[in-house]
Amino acid sequence: MTEAILLVGGKGTRLRPLTVNTPKPMVPAAGVPFLTHQLARARAAGVTHVVLATSYLAEVFEPHFGDGSDLGLDLEYVTEDEPLGTGGAIRNVASRLRSGPDEPVLIFNGDILTGLDIRALVSTHTDTGADVSLHLTRVEDPRAYGLVPTDSTGRVTAFLEKPQTPEEIVTDQINAGAYVFRRALIDSIPAGRPVSVERETFPGLLAEGAHLQGMVDSTYWLDLGTPQAFVRGSADLVLGRAPSPAVPGRCGDRLVLPTARVAPDAKLTGGTVVGEDAVIGEGARVTGSTVLSGAVIEAGAVVTDSMIGAGARVGARSVLTGAVIGDGASVGADNELRAGVRVWCNTTLPDGCVRFSSDM
């Protein structure tokens, strides 16, 4: 049976302050640590043995997932002494793999939400006899990504850095962060130093004449690297747009965990999640947002497309749109926070200190 490596050791800098206390894969999405969805999807595709490559805040994974038996998995943890990058992390767990040299090993980035047909990626790999197979997805605007053009048989022809000019946009296919490696190639990555699989391993293998196969699967795909994307992904899981066997039950277009308290006239819509022991006050309206455990949204607040950290507070009548509130932070009453605003963990914004006038 196929085994998998999950890369979960990144610092998640783009997701700060959500990743100050919690590594990105452990930030809750649709009520459970995001990693739960990936593990459940891997299990559903027939994976039974998973090695987690950890680094940043490594100590939080094992207490939560243990030996993986709750998910029907055999889970192992390997922690880097120093961050080794994506390729170095893969090499660093090689001794825990059980596959033979020519057998396929799945590798997943720990921050991608996707409906990828995992079995199809493995079949593509074995059917084409590739050394490495990559899930590719198509994006409307590829400028922010490395491009991966393929020939008519799906074989990768190049790895191109982020394109700067229209002429450089030769394809809309990008690396979607899921791979199958022939096991022997994992052993060939240099050990004991940082390696980027995207910038060093893949271009190097291509230059050596290795067979890298691309599989375009244009199902749901979202990189949860930014707060806006993370909130969107969580809402899409609740709304059923993104598939996962691990969403803990939903009611219409919201998910309220059992110990949360929601005022009868509060309105929760658009895939909103209310975490354990969180409180939503009278008349509050929360849309497309994630309210983590123990957070409080006071009466009359309007929260849209925002992430409210664990134990944070949003004061009465405050209006938040596309904002991120760190764990334990407190936003006073009558504030107005707009897209991109990040309030750091445990900071306090006094009542009425941030307002936007409509005629500004």
Catalytic residues: 162
Cα–Cα distance measured from residue 126 to residue 119, given in angstroms and rounded to the nearest whole number: 11
Smallest separation, CB 234 to ligand GTP (Å)? 17
Distance in Å, CB of 278 to ligand GTP, minimum? 26
Looking at residue 328, what DSSP letter applies?
T
Looking at 4-12, 142-150, 154-162, 264-272, which segment touches ligand GTP (CB under 6 A)? 4-12
Report the candidate in 9, 15, 16, 21 with the shortest Cα–Cα distance to residue 310. 21
Amino acid at 93: V
Contact 214, 150 (CB under 8 A): yes
Residues 6 or more apart whose CB falls under 8 angstroms from that of 69 comprise none
Is there binding between residue 257 and ligand GTP (CB under 6 A)? no
Q: Judged by CB under 6 A, which stretch of 82-90, 96-104, 135-143, 154-162 contacts ligand GTP?
A: 82-90
Report the alpha-carbon distance of residue 265 to residue 175 in Å, rounded. 45
Q: Which of 17, 33, 68, 85 binds ligand GTP (CB under 6 A)?
A: 85
Cβ 284 to ligand GTP, closest distance in Å? 31
We find the least distance from the C-beta atom of residue 145 to ligand GTP, in angstroms, to be: 12
Q: Which is nearer to ligand GTP, 136 or 256 (CB)?
A: 136
Could you list the beta-strand ranges (E) of 259-359: 261-262, 267-269, 272-274, 279-280, 285-287, 290-291, 296-297, 302-304, 307-308, 313-314, 319-321, 324-325, 330-331, 336-337, 342-343, 348-349
Nearer to ligand GTP, 240 or 340 (CB): 340
Determine the interface stretch with ligand GTP among 6-14, 41-49, 227-235, 291-299 (rule: CB under 6 A).
6-14
Q: How many residues bind ligand GTP (CB under 6 A)?
A: 23
How many CA atoms lie within 13 Å of 124's alpha carbon, on the beta-carbon side? 26
Q: Whole-number minimum distance, CB 196 to ligand GTP, in Å?
A: 8
**86-105 binders of ligand GTP (CB under 6 A):** 86, 89
Which residue in the block uniquely carries the two structure tokens 């990693």?
Answer: 35
Regarding 111 and contact with ligand GTP (CB under 6 A), the answer is: yes
Please tell me whether residue 22 binds ligand GTP under the rule CB under 6 A. Answer: no
Q: At what angle do helices 34-44 and 227-239 cross, to 10 degrees?
A: 50
Site string for ligand GTP, 206-235 (x = CB under 6 A): -------------------x----------
3-state secondary structure of 282: coil
Residues that bind ligand GTP (CB under 6 A): 7-15, 24, 53-55, 80, 83-86, 89, 109-111, 225
